Structures are given as C-alpha cells and as structure tokens.
C-alpha cells in the first residue's frame, strides 16, 4: 500500500517515521511520500491561495496548483487511486471506512489549508475513471487544515494492513467485535499502587472468569459514557 499526501507542509508528516508505522515503512510493508503543493504553484510568489469570490473572511486555495499536483500523481502512478479530501463538511470517518480504505493500493490525501480548496477541484476529479473520490471529516470539530486529519486517518488505516502491527491477534479480535465492546480497563504491575489493588480476578489465572469480568467491565464503561454513538 502506498500513501501520498499533497500538502504545503510536508514536515507535518515527520511523525510517520516513528513507531510501528515508521518500522513498517522501513521494511516496505507500506510506503509514504509527500508532494509539496508549492512546487506546482506558478508565478514569482508561488502563491497557492487567493481571496474568496463573493467575499468573506480568509483565503481559499487556488485550483491551478491542485490540478497540476493531482495530474502529476496520476501521471507518475498507474492504476486507480483513492483520492481523499479531508474536510469538515465530509462524511465522518469511522472504523468501517478505515477498513474499506485499507484494501486500496494507493491512498492520496489532498490536504487543504485556509478556508479550504476551490470547490471545482473536487467537482473536476469526481468523474475521473481512475479516481475513487472521498470527502471525509475526522469529527465534528474544527481544525486548521487537512494535515492533522490525514495523520489520524493514516494511523487508523495503516494498522489494518497485514504486517504493520506486531500482534495480528488483536486485529482479529477487533474485527469480530463492535468498537468499545472489548475496551475493558487494563492493569499491570505492581499489584497494588498507591493503595489501589488490581481486581483480584485478574490475578486468579481463571481465564473464563477473567473473560466474563472484562466483558462486564467493558459494558459498564460504555454505559457510563455518552461519547460513542
Ligand atoms: C479539514 C480544514 C477550515 C473550513 C476550513 C482545510 N474534522 C475536521 N475539522 N476540520 C477539518 C476536518 C477534517 N477532516 C479540516 C481540511 C481543512 C479543516 N481547513 C480549515 C476550518 C473551517 N472551515 C482547511
């Protein structure tokens, strides 16, 4: 699987070289590249934004550098791509979307800034037969650009690719359960910390009892929270 991020801030993606995803890139289980949008801007100032038609606050990303950059991605690669536009107006990202996108050969993230990208860019590429186009939000809150959203989505998607996370057993377990259903509280040594003991059943070695306790604890945890739908 190949990941491409088109961005005016390539440095934003440095953390992908860390931890499990960094290791997966090293052993070529996946690849990641950034494309600097500014290299596709023309004119003395290499400007990528302009004032909005119709007025209003802020700036809008111009369509020309985006068209040139995406055309370049299509020219340099063969086959179909999934082209993702992170946007606060998109469909809210979830585990099902992550699973679906993890089956792609090439994910391309178009990271906007300012007030977003001129709407004609999405309109233009939506009908390209080599492109499956997705407008996706990572949640109902506002951030400053597509880069942070892209990091979140890459992390959720990359860990689903075989060979990326060390323990495929936990992936299998996840795939058989609703999110939250297995989110029981976890403990490690010491058995008592600041007067707080680890639940006795977890020290019992009784795997049936432990399984039941965890299931019940996850249920109670979920019940006490309103942050899941
Ligand atoms: C994504 C972005 C902006 C318009 C633009 C590009 N869940 C999310 N919240 N915000 C974004 C997002 C996702 N995915 C997001 C891309 C861009 C925000 N901005 C800034 C803020 C408000 N309205 C520019």
Q: From ligand 1's centre to the CA of 139, what distance in Å? A: 10
- Terminal Cα distance for the chain, rounded: 31
Report yes or no: 16 and 26 within 8 Å, Cβ to Cβ. no
**And the tokens for 207?**
């795997």
Supply the pTM of this predicted model: 0.96
pLDDT at residue 179, rounded to an integer: 87
**And the tokens for 77?**
């690669």
Q: Is the pLDDT of residue 134 over 60?
A: yes
Percent of the chain with pLDDT over 90: 89
Using most ligand atoms within 8 A of CB, pick from 146, 147, 148, 153 the residue to mutate for ligand 1.
Answer: 146
CB 88 less than 6 A from any atom of ligand 1: yes
How many other CB atoms are there within 10 angstroms of residue 178's CB atom?
12
C-alpha angle with apex 81: 78 to 87, nearest 5 degrees?
A: 150
Across the beta sheet with 131-137, the strand order is 31-36, 2-7, 106-110, 81-92, 131-137
71-89 tens-digit pLDDT:
999 999 999 999 999 999 9
CB 15 less than 6 A from any atom of ligand 1: no
Q: From ligand 1's centre to the CA of 3, what distance in Å? A: 20
Ligand 1: residue whose CA is nearest its atom 16: 146
Length of the chain counted residue by residue: 229
Q: Describe the crossing of helices 19-26 and 146-158 by its angle, rounded to 10 degrees.
A: 70
Q: From ligand 1's centre to the CA of 49, what distance in Å? A: 15
pLDDT-based confidence at residue 171 (cuts at 50, 70, 90): confident
């Amino acid at each position: 699987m190949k990941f491409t991020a088109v961005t005016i801030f390539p440095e934003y993606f440095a953390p992908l070289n860390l931890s499990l995803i960094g290791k997966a890139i090293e052993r070529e289980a996946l690849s990641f590249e950034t494309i600097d949008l500014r290299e596709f801007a023309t004119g003395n100032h290499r400007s990528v934004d302009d004032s909005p038609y119709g007025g209003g606050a802020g700036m809008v990303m111009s369509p020309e550098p985006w068209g040139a950059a995406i055309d370049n991605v299509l020219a340099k690669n063969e086959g179909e791509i999934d082209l993702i536009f992170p946007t606060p107006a998109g469909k809210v990202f979830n585990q099902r979307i992550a699973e679906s996108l993890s089956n792609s050969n090439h994910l391309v993230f178009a990271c906007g800034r300012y007030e977003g990208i001129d709407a004609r860019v999405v309109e233009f590429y939506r009908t390209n037969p080599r492109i499956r186009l997705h407008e996706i939000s990572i949640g109902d809150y506002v951030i400053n650009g597509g880069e942070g959203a892209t990091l979140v989505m890459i992390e959720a998607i990359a860990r689903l690719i075989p060979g990326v996370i060390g323990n495929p057993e936990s992936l299998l377990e996840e795939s058989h359960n609703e999110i939250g259903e297995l989110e029981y509280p976890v403990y490690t040594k010491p058995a008592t910390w600041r007067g707080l003991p680890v639940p006795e059943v977890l020290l019992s070695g009784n795997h049936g009892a432990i399984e039941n306790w965890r299931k019940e604890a996850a249920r109670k945890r979920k019940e006490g929270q309103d942050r899941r739908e």
